[in-house]
């Protein structure tokens, strides 16, 4: 079941005018919300964008990638550094029924909480977590018959291409300086649906047993 969705999923960059029902968008978001993460920290926020003005700005920030402005919906996937602080991380850990001493131990640990190491480590780990949520959303979009494309090439703190543009986007999306827009997920029904060949490295190139030879 999952494998057939993995096999049929592909990046879709040309969309028809057909709108996507809110109930379908909510299912895609739910797949992201339920994704696994490091000690269940869930350091993500998803902003659903339909306004053309915002999509146009995001398109510009992505170097003019047309799928961004032509998508019916763009889900902005944001890494939220504050999710790693005592207030937010502690709340998630308390849900598990952990006592205060254990929660303090986890929140202050360099092994378990990258925010004790620095901004770079926090960014790295937050991006790692977002990858799961974004992957889950792409698979649910496929299940729902909705085409999507992950878009990571944009002006932001990761690419460092244009501080000015990155700041404009942050303001438009209401992001603070502890929140980083990592990926966009552009969504729409494929204009002319057709299967594409999966271009991937061979099994021999990527899979090893016991050690890389
Ligand atoms: C983190 C990430 C960022 C990506 N950024 C872009 C992008 O900026 N523009 C784009 O057209 N595709 C982008 N892609 C899509 C990849 O190009 C695509 O997944 C890859 O070529 C494999 O093709 P497939 O998705 O059709 O299987 C991105 C994919 C990932 C996982």
Looking at CATH, the fold of the domain delimited by 13-190 is given as: NADH Oxidase (3.40.109)
- Residues 172 and 54: beta-carbon distance below 8 Å: yes
CA of 198 to the centre of ligand 1 (A): 13
Which residue's CA lies nearest to atom 20 of ligand 1? Answer: 11
β partners of residue 147: 188
- Residues 134 and 185: beta-carbon distance below 8 Å: yes
Say if ligand 1 is within 6 A of residue 153 CB: yes
| Mean pLDDT confidence for 85-104 | 96
| Mean pLDDT confidence for 165-193 | 97
C-alpha span between 96 and 90 (Å, rounded):
10
C-alpha span between 121 and 116 (Å, rounded):
9
Banded pLDDT at 107 (limits 50, 70, 90): very high
Residue 52's pLDDT is 98
Banded pLDDT at 195 (limits 50, 70, 90): confident
State pLDDT tens for residues 125-145: 999 999 999 999 999 999 999
C-alpha span between 188 and 145 (Å, rounded):
9
Say if ligand 1 is within 6 A of residue 122 CB: no
List of residues 6+ apart from 27 with CB closer than 8 A: 140, 144
């Amino acid at each position: 079941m999952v494998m057939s969705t993995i096999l049929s999923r592909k990046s879709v960059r040309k969309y028809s005018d057909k709108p996507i029902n809110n109930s379908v968008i909510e299912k895609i978001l739910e797949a992201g919300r339920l994704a696994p993460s490091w000690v269940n920290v869930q350091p993500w926020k998803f902003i659903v964008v339909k306004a053309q003005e915002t999509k146009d700005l995001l398109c510009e920030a992505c170097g003019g990638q047309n799928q961004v402005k032509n998508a019916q919906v763009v889900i902005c996937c944001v890494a939220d550094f504050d999710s790693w602080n005592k207030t937010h991380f502690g709340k998630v850990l308390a849900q598990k029924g952990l006592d205060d001493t254990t929660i303090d131990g986890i929140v202050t640990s360099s092994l378990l909480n990258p925010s004790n190491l620095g901004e770079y480590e926090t960014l790295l780990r937050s991006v790692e977590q977002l990858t799961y949520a974004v992957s889950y959303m792409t698979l649910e979009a496929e299940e729902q018959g909705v085409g999507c494309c992950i878009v990571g090439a944009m002006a932001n703190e990761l690419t460092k291409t244009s501080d000015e543009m990155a700041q404009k986007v942050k303001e438009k999306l209401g992001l603070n300086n502890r929140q980083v827009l990592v990926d966009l997920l552009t969504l729409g029904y494929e204009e002319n649906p057709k299967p594409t060949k999966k271009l991937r490295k061979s099994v021999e190139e990527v899979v090893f047993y016991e050690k890389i030879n």
